[in-house]
Amino acid sequence: MTAFSLEPTTSWYLVLSAILFGIGTLGVLVRRNPLVMFMCIELMLNAVNLSFVALARELNDINGQTIVFFVMVVAAAEVVVGLGIIVSIMRSRSTLTADDLAGLKG
Amino acid sequence: MEFFVFVCSASMILVGAVGVIVRKHPVHAALSLVLTLFGVAVLFVAQEAHFLAAVQVIVYAGAIVVLFLFVIMLLGVDRVENLRTEPLSGQRPLAVLASLGLVAVLITAILRGNQIFNERGTGLNLPDSQNGPDANTVQLAESIFSQYVVAFEVTSVLLVIAVVGTVLLTRRTRAATE
């Protein structure tokens, strides 16, 4: 067991990103507003990005940063489509909770 | 020094993330999200990912959060959500339990797995007098535009499809307006 050092190692960043991912999961499970659920999905994507960047530095590999770039692009596209779906659903109803979408089932 | 940066930005990230899930007002949740995204951008700088930090601030904290706020205002859903009542009984304790279990599994995996980081890549270029100040951006561009150029082109197709699909989704048809 090495002496406790105050220099952040890769494990610190990975643990932080695990906690951030857990908070995002909790938000998706608990909140009923689809917009806030989307924000929690963004939290989870950011947690994954953070661990990719931490591992890119640990492993001296630029590909970790490349994939974060692609994750950001796909996240932007996902938010655009998701918000479009929410806007078109909101045309026909006035409240916005995820429970209302049960009306979509056949 | 890096310890100080880590503690400050980690507390920004966690306060913002908790704010997203406990604030009743969607606008407040979106502003808490900005705090988290800035904290992540600071950690990107601390980890030598300078280009990604800039993209994080511009795309996430700029475009995506503004898009969220725009939709909140457009739909007029900026009402306070009642968080006291629980729609499904017993859902919240189960959700807390599931998330804590997930975090516990992830942290166990991290702590047990950190001895296996053996394989090293070809190295990250750091900005110094030899590589110039744009070393990270140059290296990332070489990776994207040589090894992953096909994926990059496919991403542009994805963005076009997303834009066209969203326009189709939100467009009022003429029959619906009459």
User: Which regions of B46-102 does DSSP assign to beta strands (E)?
Assistant: none
Q: How confident is the model at residue A92 (pLDDT cuts 50, 70, 90)?
A: confident
pLDDT of residue B96: 92
B76: left (phi over 0), alpha (psi -120 to 50) or beta: left
A3 in a domain, yes or no?
Answer: no
Question: What integer pLDDT is reported at residue B45 of this predicted model?
Answer: 92
Residue B33 is nearest to which of A16, A42, A76, comparing CB atoms? A42
Q: Mean of the pLDDT values across residues B105-110? A: 91
Q: Counting beta carbons within 10 angstroms of the beta carbon of residue B18, is it exposed (0 to 12), middle (13 to 18) or buried (19 or more)?
A: middle
- Domains of chain B and any CATH numbers: 2-81+126-177 (1.20.120.1200)
**Chain B residues 30-69 within an 8 A CB cutoff of chain A:** 30, 33, 36-37, 40, 43-44, 47-49, 51-52, 55-56, 59-60, 63-64, 67-68
Query: Does A56 reside within a domain?
Result: yes
Residue A45 counted as domain residue? yes
Least confident among A99-103, B27-31, B87-91 = A99-103
pLDDT of residue A1: 44
Local confidence band at A40 (pLDDT 50, 70, 90 cut-offs): very high
A-facing residues of B in 71-100 (CB < 8 A) are 71-72, 74-75, 77, 81, 87, 91-92, 95-96, 98-100
Kindly tell me if the per-residue pLDDT of B129 is higher than 90.
Answer: no
B120/A59 CB distance under 8 A: yes
Asked if the structure places residue A71 within a domain, the reply is yes
Spatial distance between the Cα atoms of A26 and B100, rounded to a whole number of angstroms: 9
Task: Give the pLDDT confidence of A44-55 residue by residue, as tens digits.
Answer: 999 999 999 999
Helices (H) and strands (E) in chain B, counts: 8, 0
Is A68 inside a domain boundary?
yes
Query: In this complex, do A85 and B169 lie within 8 Å of one another by their Cβ atoms?
Result: yes
Whether the pLDDT of residue A106 is over 60: the answer is no
The pLDDT > 90 percentage for chain B reads 49
Task: Assess if residue A15 is contained within a domain.
Answer: no
Q: How many domains does chain A have?
A: 1
Q: Give me the domain span that covers residue A75.
A: 34-93
When comparing pLDDT for A27 and B24, which is higher?
A: A27
Mark yes or no for CB contact B33/A79 under 8 Å: no
User: In a 3-state reduction of DSSP, which class is residue B132?
Assistant: strand
State the pLDDT at residue A101: 66
